[in-house]
Structure 1
């Protein structure tokens, strides 16, 4: 059994202010006995619609910049794994990557993932400021087990979760900033449950709250039971993750094993 801390908070437009909040959450999570602390998408800072692509890029950092280095030092100090996100500089002067990272208890970078599916839907166009990633990251070993990384809008594409699960993931972590709107919370809940059920894995989805985001950070177990729903509150939610539950669920509901990949091809009309 592994105790995991899920952080839900409202990021301001001030990077340093948010960094101090993040460091405090890491310390509190460790004091609460968590082995891993997971943060939402865009935790670095909130970018308003008025902020230009160039301004966003100027405030972004490299993966080994001060923002991540400071978080890694806190992870090492408190002996806790941290999953978070940054705006990562790209080669383009007016575009950034939306990047998730995993830091080990020793403060080492275990994995990174650049968001593949940009939220160009429902009136939004993330591609106006963001550069898409080009590959799915290999599942990484964490204290929870084999962990696959997605970010927010990636949830709407079941192929990605399935590839991560069929590649060994027992837990999917999805840092998110789910935008409010008609039926959006219903979509959020339904999709998180579906990704857990169809892959027989845990889904851990820390979400932004406030600004334009709906909150409702969630953890769903492999059989679809909601273990955590943080509603609109800021703070830390704790859950226990058990790989025995993953193994038992996949034994009685062997969806990964029962796939018919031999007939899964596009149909010719």
Structure 2
């Protein structure tokens, strides 16, 4: 399986522009032979956690609005994993969807929320799809989130992230993101693939990534340079796993108790 990780510009409230970025990267992925493409956290509508932005732009999985958007991606041959702001039963979720042939074939809701994400409801489950599972950004600071994905039989942990921060904070965190993620890879023996945004929102906020691929030893195999829009990809060979998983695309679902946690 060749996995591609996309470092994108930050797009806020412009779904058509986000779709255009996905298409552009899909063309690059065709040339690279990638079978799966990962995009950042809340990528489709943009990561703003204000009540107004979330209520205005949230979409229900299965709704006509999201179905129309996904229809415009149906010709893309890669499996896509990207963040959305999801509405469901009156609640809002920071969700990553797994999309194939223009259809949502699975989703994961961020389980560990910062105090600044009070508009969202925390998820409670860690689904595993084929060989991969998902943690979203802040989830990676909690070993139990990655461990739950590994327990489901995953070989690859996908991490959609969005680290558009005040400049001084972004610089402080620039290397620490990978230090934390490296620990998760080593603890679980999974590959870890992250995707983030780059650029600036205003003079005080910048996105420095990182968008990279780590091997199970926690070593960075390839990474998009900070400040650059681009994609990295790597071939991840299948390895033997315990033969205790049920068959099919959706392999397992682990339920945990979780909630909003302390800010970093």
Q: Same fold judged by TM-score > 0.5?
A: yes
Q: Please give the per-residue CA displacement for 1:25-55, whole angstroms capped at 9, x wherever unaligned.
A: 2233223311111111121233557xx4034
Whole-Å Cα distance in 2 between the matches of residues 32 and 204 of structure 1?
A: 16
2:78 maps to 1:80: yes
Shift of the alpha carbon at 1:67? 6.3
Give the 3 Å change call, closer, same or farther, for CA 79–55 of structure 1 in structure 2: closer
2:135 maps to 1:126: no
Give the 3 Å change call, closer, same or farther, for CA 55–164 of structure 1 in structure 2: closer
Where do 5+ consecutive residues of structure 2 fail to align? 242-264
1:1-269 pair list within 5 angstroms:
2-13=1-12, 14-48=14-48, 52-65=50-63, 68-69=66-67, 72-73=70-71, 76-92=74-90, 96-104=92-100, 106-120=101-115, 125-127=116-118, 129-133=119-123, 135-141=124-130, 146-180=131-165, 181=169, 183-210=172-199, 211=201, 212=205, 213-232=207-226, 233-244=228-239
Shift of the alpha carbon at 1:23? 2.3
Whole-Å Cα distance in 1 between the matches of residues 114 and 75 of structure 2?
A: 36
Where do 5+ consecutive residues of structure 1 fail to align? 248-269
Give the 3 Å change call, closer, same or farther, for CA 47–35 of structure 1 in structure 2: closer
Structure (1 or 2) with the larger CA radius of gyration: 1
- Which moved further from structure 2: 223-232 or 61-70? 61-70
Q: Please give the per-residue CA displacement for 1:178-202, whole angstroms capped at 9, x wherever unaligned.
A: 2441631222010111111111110
1:252 maps to what in 2?
Answer: none
Instruction: Report the structure, 1 or 2, having the larger strand content.
Output: 2
Q: 1:197·1:222 contact (CA, 8 Å) conserved in 2?
A: yes
Q: How many aligned residue pairs are there?
A: 230
| Higher RCO (CA < 8 A, seq sep 6+) | 2
2:261 maps to what in 1?
Answer: none
Tell me, what secondary structure is at the counterpart of 2:174? helix
Q: 2:47·2:162 contact (CA, 8 Å) conserved in 1?
A: no
Query: Runs in 1 of length 4+ with deviation above 3 angstroms?
Result: 45-49, 65-76
